[in-house]
Structure 1
Amino acid sequence: MKKLFSIFIITMLVISLQGCNDKKVNDLNGDSKITLKMWHIWAQKSQDNNSIIIEDVIKEWNKNHPKIQIEVESVESEKYKTKLKTASATNELPDIFYSWGGGFSEPLIESGRVLPLNNYLENGVLNELNDNMLGNVTYKDKIYGLPLTFSVGTFYVNTELFNTADIKIPDNYDEFLAAVKAFRKKGMTPLLVGEQDRWTGMLYYDILALRESGLEESKKALSGYDDSDVFLKAAKRLEELVDLDAFDEESLKYMRDESEMLFKKGKIPMYYTGNWLAGEIQAENSLIKDKVMIKTFPLINSGKGSNQEFLGGAADYLMVSNNCKNRKEAVEAIEYVCKNISKKYYEFGSGLPAWKDNYDETKINKLSKELKKLTENGKYLLYWDIYLGEEKGDKHKELVYKLFQHKISPEEFAKDMKKLEEYH
């Protein structure tokens, strides 16, 4: 009897344990949910349509993937850089995170904190990308990110203001300077910059360097060999614009968002910034809808630059932390998010497509279509702060800021730029 009772107890324990194991399997296959934490830079939902696009894409993913949810945290661009750097140093990166490519992401990758994606990308994924999208996140044949969009420095011209003032829209740099002087003579601020966000003024300096010295000489200078005085020549060009009062005297006090409102209200005739603004310009509620055209930044007659050379390129990526516990799912998620954001950005006017797609041209922002045609054979140099990496890039932006303030001469600027190799 005791023997039968023992057998009964053992049998019940086995069944009970089997039931527990079955429950675990059922939990994994049924009710379990993976949460992927994601960081990005588009934090200003009330002012930034790009953040709304990203939010919508992530909502679509979460709706279509109930067992793999993306949880988002967003921080404004400059603060984000500090947050990302700190998280990398303490090995606390989220599962998925936004990063710029080139020199900015290189230290992250070298630290071993970023997951190489090669083994997680399904067959054919790389064929879905447009050409030259991964060069800025590929190291030693390993791919460390997928692109969200393709960025191009863009010269916006308010044609209505030019027509009203009877001033010629510039086709070269001499005509550009003539337009600056003519608008200033009429009491209008010719160019827009919000230099409290240092990168806005940097864009003007960088495109002037590209126009003055060309792509290869600029790259050479950024690599520590400025034997053609790239830095000095561009600094003199920017100083000339500042001396001509091309920028509003309040420009140094404005953040980008604050200053940009002046262009959106039709108060400023010319603005050089990224193609991410095209969507807001052509939005239904825009005050300057159909009043703005895009052009290549004017060529300098004596310069070495070409109208097929642009600032920008594939600069915006999503990456996966090496500490991510659900790597396969995270890579699947960034592939979905990147593809859909690329498409929606192009349609709205926030960027050129990084991924191939069958686009309905009737839905595409007209300025995006114009820019795509303008840049068909383009060659690109990353924005210098991204190309140089965070520390050197920040130093570059500060030096440009000093040029705007007249606190440094072009010669001093060039001398300090040549010292950037000392910054680590």
Structure 2
Amino acid sequence: VTLASTMAFSMVGCGNSDSKSEGKKDDGTITLNVWHQWSNDTNELKGRYEEAVKAYEKDNPNVKIKTETLDTEAYKTKINAEFAGDAKGIDVFYWWGAGTAKKLVDAGKVMALDDYLTDDVKSRMVEGSTSAFEYDGKLYSTPMFSWYMTLFCNKTLFNKAGAKLPETYDELVDAVKKLKTLDGVTPLAAGAKDGWNAAFVYQALALREVGATGVNEMLSGKKEFGDEGYKKAAQKVSDLYKLGAFGENPLEQGNDDANAAFENGKAAMRIMGSWFANNVYTDEAATVNPEEVVALKIPMISDGKGESTDYCGGYVESFWVNNNTKYKEEAAKFCIYINEKMGVASYETGSGFSGWTTKADESKLNPLFIQIKDLLAEGKQGVLAWDTSLEAEPAAVHNEQVQTLFADGADINEFIDEHKAAINGK
């Protein structure tokens, strides 16, 4: 999960793109260059990160943290460019595990943390939260938070259109037809200009057509991409486009546009990660009444292989250590620290579910996030976003191909063939 927004490189109040590690000063103080993708000042996690850094520097006066930020898509581009070299200006950085990090791990670009994990730290990590960070028996990061793919619905618009909140795909189609009659309302804001947004819609339907077991076997390489359910899911996305579910030109609207459309009552539905619940409650520009927003599971498909307990989501985002850092121990300790702090912060702010058993303050959890928490409690098998599970090249093909489903003339057979070539290697 995807999680990615949109790009044009510019450092945000943090120096320039070729800043280098400042090294150890005469007083013994060292500077760690830390990069992350919480660039928006309205993002609560950015504020919580800054609080955690201040606390860390107070407790560790010999360490100073210098932070660089970019929005998600520009951040991904810049990090990949840096690690094409030795990334000397980076000590600790935010990244995604599973297939996304595999290339960096295989190239020896990131450092395993096993030597720095105390029994106390290990005891605080949620069981089953580290699989996306394990490679060849070594742990390269600790968990931060997990997410849960949710169908957010505006009850006011549904009531106005006389539509039922959808529990099945057929009910979703019926709701789209009725919501289309509302002036100026898009039934389902897709944000398809950003490939990962388009992919979320497809992956939601593929989960219900193929089932979590089948999708996970494909993503892990145990089974080839080829189940008929993948084709059915692609056809359903194309059918929804033709029906007008995503508005007239969904490829012209990105993630931020789609979020704004839902938050301002211009879209009735949004398929997005659990973190979006926080947007609904904290975005000062939003006009939607948060109490009129409901969180639902992805609708079931009557003849699909998916179970109602299958869900999209899991632990995949975290901070990692550059293997070329001059300060391996200090970087590892901060990496572990900030993952735990931000895991707890994500839960307390209603953005995600902590990968740590560390006590958290639940007093400010918004009702929408609690709804998602209850949905997650029913989940049994999760599937990570495909662009984090797959390696870089097939992930890129996937995100590009799903966008073709949000336009006229979609070729479903070509969509399947391109996926087979990228994922199966033939």
Contact 1:113 1:321 in 2 (8 A): yes
Structure 2's unaligned 5+ residue stretches are 1-23
Distance 1:283 1:29 in 2: 41
Task: Give the equivalent residue in structure 2 for 1:233.
Answer: 232
Secondary structure (helix, strand or coil) at the match of 1:163 reads helix
- Change in 2 beyond 3 A, CA 1:90/1:303: same
Distance 1:168 1:65 in 2: 55
Task: Give the equivalent residue in structure 1 for 2:191.
Answer: 194
CA drift of 1:407 comes to 4.3
CA drift of 1:423 comes to 6.8
Q: TM-score, normalised on structure 2?
A: 0.88
Bigger mean CA deviation after superposition, 72-81 or 101-110: 72-81
Task: Give the equivalent residue in structure 2 for 1:330.
Answer: 331
Task: Give the equivalent residue in structure 2 for 1:342.
Answer: 343
Contact 2:36 2:93 in 1 (8 A): yes
Distance 2:70 2:410 in 1: 32
Distance 1:322 1:221 in 2: 30
Contact 2:224 2:423 in 1 (8 A): no
Asked if residue 36 in structure 1 is aligned to residue 32 in structure 2, the reply is yes
Contact 1:214 1:303 in 2 (8 A): yes
Distance 1:88 1:147 in 2: 22
Residues 1-400 of structure 1: pairs in structure 2 closer than 5 A: 31-46=27-42, 48-92=43-87, 94-187=90-183, 188-222=185-219, 223=221, 225-283=224-282, 285=284, 286-287=286-287, 288-376=289-377, 377-400=379-402
- Change in 2 beyond 3 A, CA 1:370/1:142: same
Structure 1's unaligned 5+ residue stretches are 1-27
Match of 1:229, as an amino acid? Answer: E
Contact 2:347 2:360 in 1 (8 A): no
Match of 2:359, as an amino acid? Answer: N
CA drift of 1:34 comes to 1.2
Contact 1:148 1:316 in 2 (8 A): yes
> Alpha carbon RMSD of aligned pairs, Å?
2.1
1:408 to 407, 410, 416: 410
CA drift of 1:169 comes to 1.1
Distance 1:99 1:333 in 2: 15
Contact 1:283 1:289 in 2 (8 A): no
CA drift of 1:242 comes to 0.5
Match of 2:187, as an amino acid? Answer: P
Task: Give the equivalent residue in structure 2 for 1:25.
Answer: none
Number of residues of Structure 1 aligned to a counterpart in Structure 2: 396
Q: Which has the higher helix share?
A: 1
Match of 2:248, as an amino acid? Answer: E
Contact 1:346 1:368 in 2 (8 A): no
Secondary structure (helix, strand or coil) at the match of 1:290 reads helix
Identity of paired residues, percent?
Answer: 31
Match of 2:280, as an amino acid? Answer: I
Distance 1:242 1:387 in 2: 26
CA drift of 1:136 comes to 0.7
Bigger mean CA deviation after superposition, 360-369 or 101-110: 360-369
Contact 1:347 1:365 in 2 (8 A): no
Contact 1:231 1:417 in 2 (8 A): no
CA drift of 1:250 comes to 3.3
CA drift of 1:332 comes to 1.6
- Change in 2 beyond 3 A, CA 1:284/1:138: closer
Bigger mean CA deviation after superposition, 160-169 or 267-276: 160-169
Task: Give the equivalent residue in structure 1 for 2:6.
Answer: none
Distance 2:393 2:227 in 1: 24
Distance 1:307 1:272 in 2: 17
CA drift of 1:404 comes to 0.8
| CA deviation vs aligned residue, 1:219-266 (integer Å, no higher than 9, x gap) | 344436234223211111111110110002232112211221111112
Q: TM-score, normalised on structure 1?
A: 0.88
Distance 2:306 2:423 in 1: 25
CA drift of 1:422 comes to 7.2
Contact 1:151 1:274 in 2 (8 A): yes
| CA deviation vs aligned residue, 1:72-98 (integer Å, no higher than 9, x gap) | 111222222222222222122511011
| CA deviation vs aligned residue, 1:259-301 (integer Å, no higher than 9, x gap) | 2111111221111011111112123845332221111111111
Contact 1:278 1:349 in 2 (8 A): yes
Contact 1:221 1:230 in 2 (8 A): no
Match of 1:241, as an amino acid? Answer: L
- Change in 2 beyond 3 A, CA 1:29/1:75: closer
Bigger mean CA deviation after superposition, 81-90 or 272-281: 81-90
Contact 1:96 1:320 in 2 (8 A): yes
Distance 1:364 1:396 in 2: 35
CA drift of 1:201 comes to 0.8
Distance 1:422 1:165 in 2: 44
Distance 2:358 2:374 in 1: 17
Contact 2:191 2:254 in 1 (8 A): yes
Bigger mean CA deviation after superposition, 128-137 or 157-166: 157-166
Distance 2:114 2:271 in 1: 37
Secondary structure (helix, strand or coil) at the match of 1:380 reads strand
- Change in 2 beyond 3 A, CA 1:59/1:160: farther
